[in-house]
């Protein structure tokens, strides 16, 4: 029987972390060990291999040519082991815990009202939902998928565009529409505050340019989330430019009105994003298939 020639898994994990972070201190913190313990593991691996994996300067750490090649191979191997482990852990007769990192307003206004149908179809999958709209530094936090708006450019991730069209409409409160400065044409925006969204700084300029009003410079208050912009518009603080599908409730109730018919459909879209290679985990695949179908309904 052939005996495998393999170094310590602990040494491999430590080497991969140091090579990825280029820091013994950061790798030790990630692995919850001391810096000296991480250094010993890497030295033991170098002794096992009979070659140096790093060149160690006073203030700089660099991979040797052999270390660079070996780190890529080790990372792929550990990724494969992790994937197989996750698949086994998630394959609880189609169950498991699915953690979703989603845009706050998208989660509140679109996703949560539809999650009951996912729960009914997959009762053994528990959904945990956290909000986020920043860079995708997710996977170290045990989050399985993310929902973001953009152009699909997330390198090293598996990306799926949802079937939602973001039709942007100008809305305001009924009182603002019929107030001292009536708002019934795009030109009327000159006399009103334009509420802005911090992550969409080009939204108003693009809409105004498409309407022939490029000379108007939006100068209203800026809000971090769409739900804040929605509430500000309902409160009569100004006119807002919002995705129609996020304000269906306010339009039905009359809390917000569309003062004129001019709309714009932007090129960006909403995307489901997950770490490359994890898309076929049973719980992720189930959510992906359900989400894509729900976004087309």
Structure token pair of residue 228: 């804040």
Structure token pair of residue 130: 């956290």
All residues at 6 or more sequence positions from 54 whose CB lies less than 8 Å from its CB, including other chains: 18, 42, 61, 62, 63, 64, 67
pLDDT score, position 297: 86
Show me where the domains of the chain are located.
9-89, 94-163+269-296, 167-265
pLDDT score, position 1: 64
**Whether CATH 3.40.190.10 fits 167-265:** yes
- pLDDT at 193 exceeding the cut of 90: yes
pLDDT score, position 85: 74
Q: What is the mean pLDDT of residues 223-232?
A: 96
pLDDT score, position 86: 67
> Minimal CA–CA distance to 83: which of 228, 278, 266?
278
Is the entire prediction scored with pTM above 0.85?
no
Q: Quick check: do 9-89 and 94-163+269-296 share a fold?
A: no
d(CA 270, CA 149): 4
Query: Rounded mean pLDDT of the chain?
Result: 90
Q: How confident is the model at residue 141 (pLDDT cuts 50, 70, 90)?
A: low
DSSP 8-state secondary structure symbol assigned to residue 114: G
Q: Which fold has domain 94-163+269-296?
A: D-Maltodextrin-Binding Protein; domain 2 (3.40.190)
**Whether CATH 1.10.10.10 fits 9-89:** yes
pLDDT tens per residue across span 24-71: 999 999 999 999 999 999 999 999 999 999 998 777 899 999 999 999
């Amino acid at each position: 029987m052939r005996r495998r020639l393999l170094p310590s898994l602990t040494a491999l994990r430590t080497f991969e972390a140091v090579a990825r972070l280029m820091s013994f201190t950061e790798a030790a913190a990630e692995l919850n060990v001391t810096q000296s313990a991480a250094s010993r593991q890497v030295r033991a691996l170098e002794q096992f291999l009979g070659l140096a994996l790093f060149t160690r300067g006073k203030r700089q750490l660099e991979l040797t040519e052999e270390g660079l090649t070996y780190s890529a191979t080790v990372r792929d191997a550990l990724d494969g082991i992790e994937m197989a482990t996750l698949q086994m852990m998630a394959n609880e007769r189609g169950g498991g815990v699915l953690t979703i990192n989603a845009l706050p307003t998208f989660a509140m206004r679109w996703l949560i009202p539809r999650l009951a149908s996912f729960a009914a179809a997959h009762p053994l999958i528990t959904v945990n939902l956290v909000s986020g709209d920043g860079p995708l530094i997710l996977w170290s936090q045990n989050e399985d998928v993310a929902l973001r708006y953009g152009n699909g450019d997330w390198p090293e991730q598996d990306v799926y565009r949802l079937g939602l069209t973001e039709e942007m409409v100008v809305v305001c409160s009924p009182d603002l529409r019929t107030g001292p400065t009536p708002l019934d044409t795009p030109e009327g925006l000159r006399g009103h505050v334009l509420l802005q969204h911090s992550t969409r700084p080009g939204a108003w300029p693009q809409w105004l340019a498409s309407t022939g009003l490029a000379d108007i410079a939006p100068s209203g208050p800026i809000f971090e989330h769409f739900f804040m912009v929605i509430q500000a518009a309902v409160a009569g603080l100004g006119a807002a430019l919002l995705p129609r599908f996020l304000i269906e409730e306010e339009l039905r109730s009359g809390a917000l009105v569309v003062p004129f018919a001019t709309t714009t459909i932007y090129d960006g879209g909403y995307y489901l994003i997950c770490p490359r290679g994890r898309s076929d985990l049973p719980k992720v695949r189930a959510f992906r298939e359900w989400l894509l179908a729900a976004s087309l309904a």
